[in-house]
Amino acid sequence: QQQVKQSPQSLIVQKGGISIINCAYENTAFDYFPWYQQFPGKGPALLIAIRPDVSEKKEGRFTISFNKSAKQFSLHIMDSQPGDSATYFCAARYSGAGSYQLTFGKGTKLSVIP
């Protein structure tokens, strides 16, 4: 119930292409869905996030698509650049008693080749 399933585990995309990472969840109590970008040796950085009552959110080249009925959401990176090469984690937030608990997907290692 608490799992977030993320795919693919790794992704290779050519520069200028579209990168797509998919996540699925089961727990309908999750109330917010952030994506984190992590470069080697660094902490995860919040990239973009979406509320479950919104079907799409776009920030620059990054778009989240959210399908509440299917309990799925995805990250699209348009015009992928070598600098986007990183590990991406989807997460699902549960608002508990006094804290936000995040359940992370297992991560997708994205490599953008010139």
Does 100 contact another protein by CB under 8 A?
Answer: yes
The torsion angle over the Cα atoms of residues 24, 57, 30 and 104, rounded to 10 degrees, is: 60
Does 104 contact another protein by CB under 8 A?
Answer: yes
Q: How far is the CB of 12 from another protein (least distance, A)?
A: 16
Q: Mark 17-42 as b/e (b = at least 16 C-beta within 10 Å).
A: eebbbbbbbeeeebeebbbbbbeeee
Strand partners, 30: none
> Measured between alpha carbons, how far is 64 from 54 in angstroms, rounded to an integer?
10
- Residue 17 or 27 having the CB closest to another protein: 27
Does 68 contact another protein by CB under 8 A?
Answer: no
- Residue 14 or 100 having the CB closest to another protein: 100
Among 66, 77, 88, 105, binds another protein (CB under 8 A): 105
Q: Which residue has the tokens 């970008």?
A: 37
Does 42 contact another protein by CB under 8 A?
Answer: yes
Task: Name the residues that contact another protein, by CB under 8 A.
Answer: 31-32, 34, 36, 41-46, 49, 51, 89, 91, 93, 95, 98-102, 104-107, 109
